Every structure is written in C-alpha cells, then in structure tokens.
C-alpha cells in the first residue's frame, strides 16, 4: 500500500505502549503522550497502554490491531526483544525492530561484537563482571574511560572516569542495574546522533551540552543544550550517514531508530550504541532531525506507524 493511499482507519485500533517498569519509565510516558496526541489528531483510533501486562490483557481480549511501541528500556521496557516476541506470537504488527534487532541492540557488548566482526569502528572496551579488577581493566584501556551497564539506555548508570580513585564509585553505580557492565575507551571529540527512518538516514545532529557532558539531565531536563542539524557538511556528513546505515542493518534493526556516534579530533567516527525505540519528547533527537527534511512531528509518527502495514501485508 502506497503511503499516499493510507487512511487512518487502515490501522485499526492502535495501542500506544508506554510507561512500563524500566529505569526509563518517566521518559517513556512523556514520549507516549506525544505520540498518542499526534495519532489521534490524524484520526487514528489510538489508546494509551501502560506496560506489558496491561498490553497482554488487551491482546488476549483482541482489543488491538497493532502496537506503536514507545516503551523504553530493558527489564519492564520494550526494547530487549521480549515484547517483540510476544507480539509476533499474537500475530500483531508493531513499530520498530524485530526480535533479533531489539535484543542485540539492547546489549551494548553484543552490538559491539557484531560491529567489530564486520570491521565497523567502535571504541575499545572490556566486559566487566562484579568482582573483576577494574583498576587493571582501566590500565589496559587507558584512562579516561566510561563505565556503564551493558543493557540500559538514556545515560542511566553511566560514569566518565578520569582518575583511578573514581573507578569504585563508577562500578558501584553501574552495578545497580542487571546484567554485565562495560568499560569503554572515552573518545574525546564531538557527540552525534543519527536517526534512521526506514531506508532513509536522516541528518546527523551534533550535540553541544552547556555542561561538560550530554548526560541524563542534559537530555531530558536542561533547556540550554544546543543541537546543530545537520551536524556535519559535505563528504563528512555523507560518510557518517553511510556508516550509520551499515551499523543499523548489521545488528538486524529495521523500521526506525537512532545511532549515537563520537567523532574524534582527527575526524574519525566511532559507533557507540543503537536505540530501537528513541525518545519522542520535546527534547528528543529524531523529531529534530526529521524536521530538517520537512517531516514534522505528526507526519513522523504517521510514517513510523505506516511501516507496520508492511508487516500486515507480508504476514510478518
């Protein structure tokens, strides 16, 4: 079905899945409210659903025809492949990546392993388990490093470490979250985020926080973070977008998403991680980038949902 021919009633009843019980619940609720409003403004029969247990009840009672997943995070969230497997078992189309892409992208260590196997650039790293010698690991990589949970997003549990004396506190913070930890080489340079919408890579965004780093506060609270879009020009922009598309497909992602990239002072790009259900708040990056190519928020949400009609027609 061509995009021009799609009508609001073609979607049936849409569950906008938000909230949940992950560490990113509050961000998800704000994103979900924005998505819900955009769909309803365009005549879609969309309803809010808070968390997977509530969704399951609705699915059992055949209340929903498809799901717009804006549930962020891992445990209790909707980005780790569990939700995707559930929806496929009910034969209900959904937005975003499938089981494999979601599960891989949620795990930063496994994502890096895939990228490295294909020769794609990503910062050097060491897997950390509780009880490992973190000082030895940091000396191996060389300070400064970043320590973070392998399976969380939105800068949850992330620390930048410049002195060995700060390693213990960073590990303590990251170990509050389930799963392995990751120690990563800190790339000194500029931070970018590059959205993908279907087969289209949207303009890069260079992120310039007022503080030293683009942390949780800068992402969701601060009003003085600067976003430069497109973040690069000419060949440099083309190269970054081409790298992002390769990296997105390498992990098995599809539909829409966003990849974070660091660019060092010599102009080398380093892939950081994939977000398969990016934020859709007033601070969020995908809407900022889409608007640069004439795709306003309501249209962006519509296009993301329209991709689920392909699943309906192919039986995916």
24, 50, 180, 184: the catalytic one is 24
31, 102, 150, 154: the catalytic one is 154
279 is catalytic: yes
64, 125, 177, 220: the catalytic one is 220
258 is catalytic: yes
223 is catalytic: no
273, 284, 289, 307: the catalytic one is 273
184 is catalytic: no
Buried b (16+ CB within 10 A) or exposed e, 105-140: bbbbbbbbebbeeeebebbebbebeeeeebeebbee
Could you tell me how many residues make up the chain?
316
216 is catalytic: no
150, 260, 284, 307: the catalytic one is 260
275, 284, 289, 307: the catalytic one is 275
220 is catalytic: yes
279, 284, 289, 307: the catalytic one is 279
152, 258, 269, 307: the catalytic one is 258
Positions marked active-site: 24, 154, 220, 258, 260, 273, 275, 279
């Amino acid at each position: 079905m061509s995009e021009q021919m799609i009508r609001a009633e073609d979607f049936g009843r849409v569950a906008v899945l938000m909230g949940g019980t992950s560490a990113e619940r509050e961000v998800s609720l704000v994103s979900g409210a924005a998505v819900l409003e955009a769909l309803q403004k365009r005549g879609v029969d969309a309803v809010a659903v808070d968390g997977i247990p509530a969704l399951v009840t609705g699915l059992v009672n055949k209340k929903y025809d498809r799901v717009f997943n804006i549930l962020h995070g891992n445990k209790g969230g909707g980005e780790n492949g569990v939700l995707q497997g559930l929806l496929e078992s009910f034969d209900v189309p959904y937005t975003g990546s499938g089981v494999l892409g979601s599960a891989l992208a949620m795990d930063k260590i496994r994502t890096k392993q895939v990228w490295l196997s294909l020769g794609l650039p990503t910062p050097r790293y060491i897997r950390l388990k509780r009880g490992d010698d973190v000082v030895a690991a940091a000396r191996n990589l060389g300070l400064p490093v970043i320590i973070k949970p392998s399976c969380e997003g939105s800068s949850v549990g992330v620390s930048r470490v410049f002195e060995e004396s700060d390693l213990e506190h960073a590990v303590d913070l990251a170990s509050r979250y389930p799963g392995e930890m990751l120690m990563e080489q800190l790339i000194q340079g500029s931070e970018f985020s590059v959205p993908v919408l279907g087969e289209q890579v949207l303009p890069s965004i260079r992120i310039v926080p007022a503080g030293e780093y683009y942390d949780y506060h800068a992402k969701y609270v601060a009003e003085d973070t600067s976003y430069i879009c497109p973040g690069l020009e000419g060949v440099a922009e083309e190269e970054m977008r081409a790298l992002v598309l390769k990296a997105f497909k390498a992990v098995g992602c599809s539909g829409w998403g966003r990849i974070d990239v660091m660019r060092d002072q010599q102009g080398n790009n380093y892939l950081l991680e994939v977000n398969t259900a990016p934020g859709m708040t007033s601070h969020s990056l995908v809407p900022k980038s889409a608007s640069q190519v004439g795709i306003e928020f309501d249209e962006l949400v519509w296009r993301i949902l329209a991709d689920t009609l392909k699943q309906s027609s192919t039986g995916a």
